[in-house]
Structure 1
């Protein structure tokens, strides 16, 4: 199962220094889940690579990600409705996009573990219901860069994605044992400015909280320690 896979370097160009990890080596039943249809989250090439041998492209109801890879099924997902996808159970839950475009986060369960993947949501009021209904989580993958956008006018000057402080608060409400930061490391774009040193700020925000911060380099595995 892949969530928002990205292999196309044109999505961010030189502004994203992270290594992009190939996804064309999937074995068995394969699903690609996307949180929303922006090109850095729905990468059509990544979806086609991951689903080269068939499978399911799962997307939020109300979005229409195109093109759907040949030989695959497209499955729109309604909020709060669990779906069986091979060995996984996936449930779309509410998220809020900085532009107001349709977006979800994903709750994924398999093999006795449960994770939360936030996409690039900003702060919203659904964290408590998600935590009560699905928590606790073994890990929450949450955006942390607090980016401010300048492309739409008038400019708000407010974060369009979770800040480090908000990510820690969300992880605590969700009952996440660890927070894996995602959606950070973009620089050099005048119209997209993330907070300075988001990982240091994340660690500072979590200092007195029961949440372990666990950054991962691209391609690394998350090791379950309990």
Structure 2
């Protein structure tokens, strides 16, 4: 399996000649009032990528980019959807083949297995995580999940995860502008929680996602960290990790 990091929480997988996008987004303009401007140039990929399968963890527009689906999904491609999201997705996406899965239900095609599993959104909206397995590499993608009590169960039921892609920015959000009361509790995993979650998943390595690109002094306040923090928490938890910059390929076997 070839793995490429895209913007923010997005990744691209290539396996058995098939291309898979998860949480692939390149248009963040709608959320500019709460996310602020991107601190780095946003990677443009939709003109070069044709996907056989597109998945997303939830419908926040920094994870669910309708433009990417329109531009990147092949004519015979499939959108794979967690069943609780299906009615909402059908309001936004038309004329595509949709594979609808319940939690822990699997769909296998081209020797690649897709499985949505439990996740918890920081503001109470519907979210799943995804496991993709091609019998050579198994990845877990956690969108922007918060800490929850199912990581132990997920680790027991899903053996041999190679890479856990998990959010690490522990962001505090103030979305009163869209009707949500302020809470000082982070709306995504922070660094230590992500390392602990990857450890409970028995992942060989954590790959941090969902950090660094956005911050807003009033509305979107992430927890900051540096390489020293990564090494310290890795040693403390006993969990290995690899940093993957946007656009870079995961070259490890």
Q: When the two structures are superposed, what TM-score results if normalisation uses the length of structure 1?
A: 0.90
Query: What's the offset of the Cα at 1:111?
Result: 4.2
- In the TM superposition, residue 122 of structure 1 has moved relative to its aligned partner by 0.3
Instruction: Determine helix, strand or coil for the equivalent of 2:100.
Output: strand
Structure 1 residues 199 and 54 mapped into 2: Cα distance closer, same or farther (>3 Å)?
Answer: farther
Following the alignment from structure 2 to structure 1, what is the Cα–Cα distance between the partners of residues 119 and 242? Answer: 22
Matched with 1:163 is 190
Q: Does the residue aligned with 1:30 lie in a helix, a strand or coil?
A: strand
Report matched runs for 1:1-226 at 5 Å.
1-13=20-32, 14-26=37-49, 30-63=52-85, 64-65=88-89, 66-68=91-93, 70=95, 72-152=96-176, 153-185=180-212, 186-197=214-225, 200-225=228-253
Please give the alpha-carbon distance, in whole angstroms, between the structure 1 residues aligned to 2:228 and 2:218.
23
Tell me the alpha carbon deviations over residues 49-99 of structure 1, each in whole angstroms, 9 at most, x when there is no partner: 2204331111222222243254x2122221000111433201100000011
Q: Which has the higher contact order (CA 8 A, sep 6+)?
A: 2
* More helix as a share of residues: 2
Q: Deviations over 1:126-179 (max 9, x none)?
A: 101111111231110000000011114532201110010000000100001111
Q: List, as ranges, runs of 4+ consecutive aligned residues in structure 1 with deviation greater than 6 Å.
A: none
SS at match of 2:139: strand
Q: Which runs of 5+ in 1 are unaligned?
A: none
Classify 1:148/1:162 alpha carbon distance in 2 versus 1 (closer, same or farther; 3 Å).
Answer: same
- Classify 1:34/1:81 alpha carbon distance in 2 versus 1 (closer, same or farther; 3 Å): same
The count of corresponding residues between Structure 1 and Structure 2 is: 223
Q: Which moved more, 1:76-85 or 1:155-164?
A: 76-85
Asked if 2 retains the 8 angstrom alpha-carbon contact of 1:145 and 1:163, the reply is yes
3-state DSSP of counterpart to 1:54: strand
Please say if residues 26 and 42 of structure 2, whose CA atoms lie closer than 8 Å, have aligned partners that are also in contact: no
Q: CA deviation at 1:189?
A: 4.4
Contact 1:96 1:124 in 2 (8 A): yes
Give distance in 1, aligned partners of 2:28 and 2:59: 17
CA RMSD of aligned residues (A): 2.0
Contact 2:173 2:187 in 1 (8 A): yes
